[in-house]
Amino acid sequence: MPIVLATIVGCASATTTAEGPPPSSTTSTVPAGTSSTAAPTTTTTVVDEDVVAQPADFKNLKDMSKVRGMFVDNLLGHLPEAIAVAENPEGGIFPVGTVIQLVPQEAMIKRKAGFSPAFGDWEFFELVTSADGTVISKRGGAEVVNRFGGKSCAACHVKADIKFDFICEKTHGCDPLPVPDAVFIALQDGDNRPRVKAGVPS
């Protein structure tokens, strides 16, 4: 379970393949005979967003957005919102689809509400990375053991102050990882997966 020089980012276990349920919608209409001053007919669609990450969804860390010691992305187009939460000293809830990594070999992704309530709906991943790309070796929750101390990623993250949405920076309440920051920096700098900028591999 990684700690981003300030942030612990988890790993994973139980395989997850279920797609999220189809979007639900509710429609409210103005009854006949309503006065002209009443609100017009409106339709509100509530989309139950979710994401089931695939190997290609994991980028070289250098193509993600760095916030302090961690790297942030969002697979559903909510990157500005995700960065805003990560940068907020008071914390906040990350949008669905947010990816957080400390090192190339581990990640956590925010899933839809109800995916894993006990662990903030985060899915943890153990990854194998190389110059060819990324392979997902494990994904899931509490069963996943991290590479920096042999503890469950989820069990560490659950100790974070709730306002930080299970993200364990050094001052968020999680147990410190038994490795110095220099180790994380070396792993980050050593990410040799293909780079993609503006859609063009480099």
Dump pLDDT digits (tens) for 140-169. 886 766 766 666 665 565 666 688 888 876
113: tokens are: 């509400």
Q: Are 86 and 72 in contact (CB under 8 A)?
A: yes
At 116, give phi and psi (nearest 5°).
Answer: -155, 75
pTM of the model: 0.71
Contacts of 199 (CB under 8 A, 6+ apart): none
Give per-residue pLDDT as tens, 82-139. 999 999 999 999 999 999 999 999 999 999 999 999 889 999 999 999 999 999 998 9
Query: Do 88 and 169 form a contact (C-beta atoms < 8 A)?
Result: no
CA 61 to centroid of chain Cα atoms: 14
